[in-house]
Amino acid sequence: MSTESTSRGPLDGYLVVDLSRALAGPHAGMMLADLGARVIKVETPGTGDDTRSWGPPFVGPDDDQQATYFLSCNRNKESIALDLKSDDGVAVLRDLVQRADVLVENFRPGVLDRLGFSPAHLHELNPRLVILSISGFGHDGPEATRSGYDQIVQGEAGLMSLTGSGPEDPQRVGVPIADLLSGMYGAFGLLAALLERERTGKGQVVRTSLLAAVVGVHAFQGTRHTVAGETPAAQGNHHPSIAPYGLFACRGGKVQISVGSEKLWETFASTFGIDASRPEFAGNAQRVRNRQAVIAAVEQAFADIEAEPLLEKLRAAGIPAGKVRTLDEVYAWEQVHSQGLVVDVDHPVLGKVSLPGPPLRFFDTAQGTETTNRAHTAPPLLDQHGGGIREWLSGTGTGTAEGVQA
């Protein structure tokens, strides 16, 4: 199938006004931009998005340092700096709202109202507008006014209690997962609202929160409590409901395996000389209850085999397996590049840089072509597109930024 594509993406022609900052809202906006929407990022004059100062690492010349954090969540956007407490800033935002399909914001509940842009007023300006609003702990309820920061919510929403080497070792996930998940859920919700708008002609408000996003991915750990009455706790790198499934030591290293069915277990045990007839190994439930004995048997079988030959032997037997890669290994991996997960863009200060790429691909099976949008632009400098956007709003220019079509 051909990988050639001239598509701008399924959201080509949609306009998104992104009032958000930090990570949750900007990640949602970037997802929409990756899909072809025109995303105009509204930033505070002088300082811009908070993440422009989050570092190190910073890269670039000493007098124009760029935060790699900001670069991670703002590709394919335009930037305009507006003081929303000034008459000019309010007027420009009003003009943008009247033209927009979507508005994204992650202020604390009530802040947008105090700025004069309550949801009711936004829908007076544009009844078709879909508003995505992301908060920390929810927009109502007894703790709605709390500030939502990722690690705090990871703890409050139970995720840290499930992560770590054991119950006494709670750990945060290595990326701001509450922020990222709330952005993803938010993008999912607003796309549903855009679909409903096709039927009703009306926009609506979509709300989610960091708290909701983390609780929303409790998955089987949640039902362990709500249905079975158990309170799960961290137990390191082994699955709480499947055995053997996890990280195991071998000669000079470690490998991961996933033995997720009885057929796989029988194959695995026979391949590595493990006595599968032992009563404590008779079924998955017994192996989970006797996890330490399973771990000991597996690691004894692996003790004289180095990681790469072991992985080959596991693959030959059809056992799902892998290693733990560092990020330099991940971004050098041919499979990652084959999936479009690294994109090159031209940054006005840094020149050509590589960024983690979007995780979705699109295909036209009738034509046998990939229609994924490949035209990516670098995260913008503060107010980089402000002049062009103002000209477009006033009718004196096209508003077309380099690489971003109005």
pTM for the model: 0.92
Residue 1: what pLDDT?
44
Our CA angle for 346, 350, 352, nearest 5°, is 35
Length in residues, the chain = 406
Please give the domain boundaries of the chain with CATH numbers for all domains.
15-217+361-394 (3.40.50.10540), 245-327 (3.30.1540.10)
The yes-or-no verdict on residue 281 having pLDDT over 90 is yes
Residue 404: what pLDDT?
39
pLDDT band of residue 76 (cuts 50, 70, 90) is very high
- Rounded Cα distance, 403 and 76, in Å: 9
Q: In Å, how far are 150, 304, 350 from 71, measured between CA atoms?
A: 19, 44, 11
pLDDT in tens, 180-220: 999 999 999 999 999 999 999 999 999 999 999 999 999 99
- Give residues with Cβ within 8 angstroms of 151, minimum separation 6: 172, 176
Task: Give catalytic residue positions.
Answer: 179
DSSP, collapsed to helix, strand or coil, labels residue 77 as strand
pLDDT in tens, 199-208: 999 999 999 9
Taking alpha carbons only, the member of 41, 42, 49, 40 closest to residue 21 is 49
